[in-house]
């Protein structure tokens, strides 16, 4: 008969995969914080790290690390790290302390005594951070949290390095399949777009993300102490459950703040515009396919583009649900649902809209939106939350399209236009055939007509 102690030891050994000789045993979760705070987000980053540390689970194999690039211009606080600095440093975060680490060999310039100023807007820094973590702190699941500013098509602006920043397709170009992640959380504004989700979908042959949490519109940093405090059993926590917790705890925190009456009017207005979604990116493929099929059907209908403009409404008017104060983005599910229910569209277009709504619903794990969306008929949790670029009327067509010239399959045209190279624009499109085969081609033909020279974005459908 095997003793109880020996049986317990055997079960524990079977539950944990064996590590190669000399290699660290894998964590349940390795959580990587990327503090791209060489900008005004530095003002809140240290206090938020301090709060996050209080929530780190005491049980389970969970390790939290932070690569932070600070600014000399916005804060001199020692909160979160126990010291003030303006360079780039690497830390292990625990409830009790922030331990400064050596990043070699993957991050050779970062040591416990270095004063290296990295460019957090350079994707190679992110790549090397991910590879450092995998080499020295492997885990069954790895989560990456971006903490910085963003606007939907760019994030992590580094003011010390000339305003360089990260772009969605830059991550695809620099990171590889080996750098793929179980969960990415954007504690950043406006990154919950279909264009970005398609860029990082898993199984496309390069860098991929399984689950993504992002906001169409954020107001304040996420409540990380209460989020991590929800970890009951890290050993069984899935990426989807982690993402759902982020959404649920943030919504609860915001609603509690609104109900308390302690928020000033300006803060209440900001919180009221918030929305957030947790997305399964392995389900984004059917959303893109359904959107392209919808665009083909809409383009074949002679009044299709007019219907789209009428639905879009003018800035500030009730129409398709739009996000942020810049009405550049509309909600994908809302657009699809309105098309499916439109009496003035033919049956094939309505059916295509219904299929798009169904696919979007399947991809959204959890979401919330607050009071600002009441004028659109309310926010539907678990359905709304994925945004899509659709320029509003009110501008000349080319002017509207020039404003989003970053949304292109190739390199961008013109200084300050961004990075381009979106897979969303490239996939499903056939350059030069003059036909609509994708949503993006429908927009390009509508906003950039007669563009033999490629027009605002250098592309001729």
pLDDT at 326: 60
pLDDT at 230: 95
* pLDDT surpasses 90 at 191: yes
* pLDDT band with cut points at 50, 70 and 90 for residue 307: confident
Strand partners, 150: 155
Structure tokens at 412: 């961008």
Q: How far apart are CA 252 and CA 266, in angstroms?
A: 20
* pLDDT band with cut points at 50, 70 and 90 for residue 262: confident
Task: Return all residues near 22 (Cβ < 8 A) that are at least 6 apart.
Answer: none
pLDDT at 317: 47
pLDDT at 397: 60
Q: Where in the chain are the domains?
A: 24-284, 395-461
pLDDT at 168: 97
Q: Out of 11-15, 133-137, 449-453, which region has the weakest mean confidence (pLDDT)? A: 11-15
* pLDDT surpasses 90 at 331: yes
pLDDT at 88: 97
* pLDDT band with cut points at 50, 70 and 90 for residue 10: very low
What's this model's pTM, rounded to 2 decimal places? 0.92
Mean pLDDT of the chain: 89
* pLDDT band with cut points at 50, 70 and 90 for residue 311: confident
The total of other beta-carbon atoms located within 10 Å of residue 316's CB is: 11
Residue-wise pLDDT tens digits, 21-58:
566 689 999 999 999 998 999 999 999 999 999 999 98
Is residue 71 within 8 A of residue 42, CB to CB? The reply is yes
Three-state SS for 352?
Answer: helix
Q: Out of 126-140, 171-185, 243-257, 420-434, which region has the weakest mean confidence (pLDDT)? A: 420-434
Q: How far apart are CA 245 and CA 226, in angstroms?
A: 9
Across residues 214-226, what is the average pLDDT?
93
Residue-wise pLDDT tens digits, 144-163:
999 999 999 999 999 999 88
Helical pair 304-312 and 439-447, crossing angle rounded to 10 deg: 90
* pLDDT band with cut points at 50, 70 and 90 for residue 305: confident
* pLDDT band with cut points at 50, 70 and 90 for residue 90: very high
Domain 24-284 has CATH 3.40.50.11970: yes
Q: Please give the residue that has the higher pLDDT: either 22 or 137.
A: 137
pLDDT at 13: 38
Q: How far apart are CA 181 and CA 177, in angstroms?
A: 9
Across residues 45-73, what is the average pLDDT?
94
Strand partners, 56: none
Q: How far apart are CA 308 and CA 286, in angstroms?
A: 22
Strand partners, 31: 64, 143
């Amino acid at each position: 008969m095997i003793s109880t102690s020996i049986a317990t030891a055997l079960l524990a050994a079977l539950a944990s995969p064996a590590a190669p000789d000399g290699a660290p045993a894998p964590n349940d979760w390795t959580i990587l914080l990327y503090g791209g705070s060489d900008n005004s987000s530095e003002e809140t980053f240290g206090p938020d790290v301090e709060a996050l540390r209080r929530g780190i689970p005491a049980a389970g194999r969970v390790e939290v690390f932070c690569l932070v690039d600070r600014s000399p211009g916005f804060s001199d606080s020692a909160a979160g790290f126990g010291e003030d600095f303006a360079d780039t440093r690497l830390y292990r975060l625990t409830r009790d302390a922030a331990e400064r680490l050596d990043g070699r060999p993957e991050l050779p310039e970062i040591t416990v005594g270095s004063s290296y100023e990295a460019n957090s807007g350079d994707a190679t820094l992110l790549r090397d951070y991910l590879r450092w973590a995998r080499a020295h702190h492997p885990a069954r699941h790895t989560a990456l949290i971006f903490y910085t500013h963003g606007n939907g098509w760019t994030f992590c602006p580094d003011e010390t390095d000339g305003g360089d920043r990260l772009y969605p397709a830059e991550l695809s170009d620099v990171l590889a399949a080996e750098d793929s992640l179980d969960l990415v959380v954007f504690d950043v504004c406006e990154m919950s777009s279909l264009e970005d989700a398609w860029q990082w979908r898993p199984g496309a042959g390069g860098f991929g993300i399984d689950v993504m949490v992002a906001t169409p519109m954020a107001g304040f940093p996420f409540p990380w102490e209460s989020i991590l405090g929800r970890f009951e059993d890290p050993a069984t926590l899935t990426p989807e459950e982690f993402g759902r917790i982020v959404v649920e705890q943030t919504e609860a925190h915001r609603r509690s703040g609104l109900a308390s009456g302690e928020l000033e009017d300006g803060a209440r207005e900001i919180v009221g515009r918030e929305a957030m979604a947790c997305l399964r990116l392995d389900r984004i493929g059917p959303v893109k396919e359904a959107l392209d099929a919808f665009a083909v059907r809409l383009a074949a209908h002679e009044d299709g583009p007019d219907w789209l403009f009428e639905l879009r409404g003018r800035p500030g008017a009730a129409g398709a649900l739009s996000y942020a104060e810049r009405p550049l983005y509309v909600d994908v599910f809302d657009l699809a649902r309105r098309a499916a229910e439109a009496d003035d569209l033919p049956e094939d277009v309505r059916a295509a809209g219904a299929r798009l709504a169904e696919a979007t619903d399947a991809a959204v794990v959890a979401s919330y939106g607050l009071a600002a969306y009441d004028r659109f008929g309310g926010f539907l949790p678990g359905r709304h939350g994925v945004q899509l670029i659709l320029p509003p009327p009110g501008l000349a067509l080319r002017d509207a399209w020039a404003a989003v010239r970053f949304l292109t399959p190739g390199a961008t045209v013109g200084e300050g236009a961004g990075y381009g190279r979106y897979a969303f624009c490239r996939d499903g499109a056939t350059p030069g055939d003059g036909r609509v085969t994708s949503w993006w081609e429908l927009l390009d033909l509508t906003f950039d007509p007669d563009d033999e020279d490629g027009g605002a974005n250098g592309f001729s459908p």
